[in-house]
Structure 1
Amino acid sequence: MVVAVTLVTTLTLGATAGAWLTHRGPFTPKPTEAFVALASTGLAVAPDGTRAELAPGSDLVFLEGSRVAVADPATATAAELATAQDMRDWLAAGTVPGAGTEFEDMSTNALLDLYALTLDDGAVVAGWTPHWRYAWPRDNAFVATALATTGHTDDALKILEFLQGVQSADGSFEARYLPDASGPPDDRGVQTDATGWALWSASTVLAEIDDPVARAAAAAALKPLIERSTTRILALTKDGTALPPASPDYWEKRTRKATLGTSTPLLMALQGADDLFALLGKPYRASTVAQAATTFDHVVRTKFGPNFPRDLGGSKVDTAVAFLLPPFAETADDDVLAAWAAAPEAMARAGGGLAPGAGWKQDGISWTPTTTVFALTAAALGEDDKAIGWLRWVDAHRTTTGSIPEKVLFDGSPAQLAPLAWSSANVLLALTYLGD
């Protein structure tokens, strides 16, 4: 990345992130239909590297193919034009999934948003509004994978190096980190799935490096992350023979039960770790990890099957059922496919997208991270019609600046904030699989 970082700039004030509004429109909402303010429609990057939210109603526009915001493109400064050209050059150095299709604009904007959300030290903030301006390992892992698959491998490796730098010596990760890598912003504590996501992303990123010498060198640079993460996962799963202890996952909620959302990232990580240890020149370690992955795959499918609910012993499905299918998993068995195919009906919301799970609160709000995960799995499975349907829904609910919001209200309005890193990464990955 060529831009610097300042975390204080704002262009215009928007609604408070997370504010719940009382509806004043021409109709009466149902009690279960919540209203959430849209705090930002996009993220701008200035020539000096500072970032700033674009609030709803802002008159600023982006220079073409960039995230440089100006009042009038005709009066853009030389510095603004040069910064915009840097971004266009960055786009040209990689690929735009979906180029030449109806999704090219969404894909281009998603890439530019990831560019803007990725900081010089490799940290990817989930969003730019205050409560999202942190680096979640989960989001960073998805962004690294998406950037690698679109030809921006150096940026992807820098993200993984950031994760390696903040990871604890025992292989664990806090829920989120300050973007300057100085530590967590609060006491949310460890979230076990993060270790799985980081190791999974390392394997997917390195797989995108064609040159064997460069791939081996990248693996060597990430050796601490690979070894610490694998050791922790093997300890948590007793070498793949047991589910890990209960831990918060992407729901960001405490739980006393083992969840599919924690177990599946650990499984995905183990399934890719053998290749990583082969790159590190440790064939015996590769073999033992591969065996643990096979054992753990059986444990997860036996314990959670045949319906694969969110909670062990529960009945309500959530997003994590998708993590047992390609591109996350190596195989797609009939029970998982059936659970995944049935999940959207249970998770559907009035706005047309999906909630994180069937057990999520009935507030009428669709979440783009879940909806785009289902688009990604559909694309990887060759279910093109389903993937295109979900992607068209996301495309239709972008903000006025072209960014993907975190949420969509029951009436189709984008909500909370935009752009959101995780959803942008998912869209790029889904379009990559559709192109394949």
Structure 2
Amino acid sequence: MSAGAVSLAAGVWGVPRLHAALRPAPEALSEGVVVGAHGALQVLAPGESVDYLPGTRLPADPAPWGMDPQQRDELAQRAALRQQGARLPHGRWGSLAREALDDLLALTGPTLVDDGEAGGVLDFPVGAVAAAPVGGWRYVWPRDASFCAAALSSVGLYQEALGVLGRLASWQDETGALEARYTLSGRPPDQRPRQTDGVGWLMWAVGRMLADGVSVADLETALGHCLARTTSRLLWLTDTASHLPAASPDYWEVPESVLTLGTAAPVLLGLEAALGLARAGADLGADPERLEERVATVRQAVERGFAPGWGRHVRQDDVDAAVVFVLPPFTTELAGARGVRQDAVARMSRPAGGVAPGSSWRRDGVSWTPQTALLAWSGVVLGMEEGPRLLGWLESHRTRVGALPEKVLADGSPAGPAPLAWTSALVVLAAGA
């Protein structure tokens, strides 16, 4: 839910929990996207519909979108080249994965028609993943982008994935830190603090690519000094008395004074990925023995801080979706986490059938699709019945054009922006599992 803070309205960063009466009910902000004239990505207003060319977000009838059939067909050829070699699941989840991938690619490096009063376009550079096509979601979050890279790699679109990670690398500062989010020019749009988890997710995504068969040489060529900078940053973050990073905002997008599992776990995952890269021969500026020792130390520290309750915060049991980060497919199970995972969905469930970000999230009846998709992927990998069920729930709660929204209201209707890049990426990963 990287853009979840937007739902608090622009001026309330720093107020983590407003009274429910002050929060307007979420509403649908977009139905989806369509590729229009000159390849520009246009937003479908709520209630608007379009028939797509199969395997694209191009309109079957190009005339209403400022194109003639020849231009549409040329854009269709580009889309096909971009997806050439993609390995998508067949059978039950094939169509869902295909449409999620279509949206994910549409949001990666788009020329996005501006929905502001001034008109014009927002021209995102290659590899920059817009979190969603409207309003305050038209930024790049390192967390979302890293998951998008992992999803693209999982279906064999390695150059697309490297482009996403290469864009993040180009915006990383010399200390290896990443901002909470970026404009299309690579600058932070506001004064919100950095979010530590982004560095861990970046390296985790690199590790996923290595596991998918991308060579160390190709990773080093595409990412350059990013690998060593990120490793150095992860080591620095855990060079503390507790061997845990300091408190930081995470995917809840609220200020935190106490360390969350949503920050600690990605840092551990990043270190584990760095260890895998070092063992494979990558030059990270730290030898495998040092990284192996740090990984073991940090795993113990995470267990010491969060087990047995595996709650959102250190030594608490307010479970949230981050519990999946300490289990497969993210890492080897940490002590006691599977037991907490067993009833996590029940503790986080909402009336429409999805989940809230956590058990301590406000009781507004809203389901959030990124967290539901995280639990779906986790459930599929762990062999839990709820994995396919949650994936089916996501499939049945898309917009009328097949886009995955950020939220689903208690009555089952979509809300927030659609498509959401993070959810689209997670659905690709879950369907492929």
TM-score by length of 2: 0.87
Letter in 2 for 1:165: S
Structure 2 match to 1:91: 83
Q: Does residue 375 in structure 1 map to residue 376 in structure 2?
A: yes
Matched, 1:129 2:131: no
Q: Which residue of 1 aligns with 2:52?
A: 62
| 2:417 is equivalent to residue 417 of structure 1 | yes
CA distance, structure 1, for counterparts of residue 233 and residue 204 of structure 2: 14
1:61 Cα offset (Å): 2.7
TM-score (norm. length: structure 1) = 0.86
* Partner of residue 327, structure 2: 325
What displacement does 1:387 show? 1.2
Distance in 2 (CA, whole Å) between partners of 1:370 and 1:18 is: 16
Partner of 2:149: 144
Deviation at 1:402, TM superposition (A): 0.5
State the distance in 2 between where 1:355 and 1:61 align: 32
Distance 1:49 1:143 in 2: 21
Give the counterpart of 1:204 among 205, 208, 212: 208
| Counterpart position of 2:408 | 408
SS at 1:96 equivalent: coil
Q: Give the match for residue 12 of structure 1.
A: none
Partner of 2:91: 100
**Residue identity opposite 2:388 in structure 1:** I
Decide whether the 8 Å contact of 1:191 with 1:247 is kept in 2: yes
Secondary structure of the residue that 1:62 maps to in structure 2?
A: coil
CA RMSD of aligned residues (A): 2.4
Measured after TM superposition, the shift of residue 264 of structure 1 is 0.2
Q: Is 1:173 equivalent to 2:163 in the alignment?
A: no
Amino acid in the other structure paired with 1:412: G
Structure 1 unaligned segments of length 5 or more: list them.
1-16, 21-29
Cα distance in 1, alignment partners of residues 130 and 423 from structure 2: 13
User: In structure 2, the residue corresponding to 1:61 is in which secondary structure?
Assistant: coil
Change (3 A) 1:220 1:33: closer
2:310 maps to a residue whose letter is F
Per-residue displacement from partner, 1:362-406 (whole Å, max 9, x unpaired)? 1100000000000111122233x2211000000010001101110
Count of residue pairs brought into register by the alignment? 400
Q: Hey, what does 2:115 align to over in structure 1?
A: none
Per the TM alignment, residue 413 of structure 1 is displaced from its structure 2 partner at its CA by: 0.4
Conservation of the 8 A alpha-carbon contact between 1:206 and 1:219? no
Note closer, same or farther for the CA distance 1:283–1:39 as it changes in structure 2 (3 Å cut): closer
Paired residue for 1:389?
A: 389
Contact 2:265 2:326 in 1 (8 A): yes
Q: 1:100: how far off?
A: 2.1
2:105 alignment partner, one of 115, 135, 146 = 115
- Residues 247 and 299 (structure 1 numbering): CA distance in 2 closer, same or farther, change over 3 Å? same
Report the 3-state secondary structure (helix = DSSP H, G, I; strand = E; otherwise coil) of the residue aligned with 1:312. coil
- Residues in 1 aligned to 2:196 and 2:311: alpha-carbon distance in whole angstroms: 18
1:346–1:31 distance in 2 versus 1, CA, 3 Å: farther
> Is 2:423 the partner of 1:427?
no
Residue 224 of structure 1 corresponds to 225
Q: In structure 1, what is the equivalent of residue 313 of structure 2?
A: 311
Partner deviation per Cα, 1:102-152 (whole Å, 9 max, x = no partner): x22211110000110000421101001021000000000000000001010
**Residue identity in the other structure for 1:323:** F
Unaligned 5+ segments in structure 2 are: 1-5, 10-19, 110-124
**Distance in structure 2 (CA, Å) of the matches to 1:249 and 1:86:** 36
Cα 1:206/1:275, change in 2 over 3 Å: same
- Listed one character per residue, the Cα deviations across residues 286-319 of structure 1 (whole Å, up to 9, x for unaligned) are 2211210111001101110001110113231111
User: How many Å separate the matches in 2 of 1:65 and 1:337?
Assistant: 38
**Aligned letter for 2:32?**
G
Asked whether the 8 Å contact 2:268–2:298 carries over to 1, the reply is yes
Matches within 5 A, 1:67-78: 67-69=57-59, 71=61, 77-78=69-70
Alpha-carbon distance between aligned partners in 1 of 2:231 and 2:206, rounded to the nearest angstrom: 12
In 1, the alpha carbon distance for the partners of 2:205 and 2:97 equals: 21
Residue of structure 2 in register with 1:25 after alignment: none
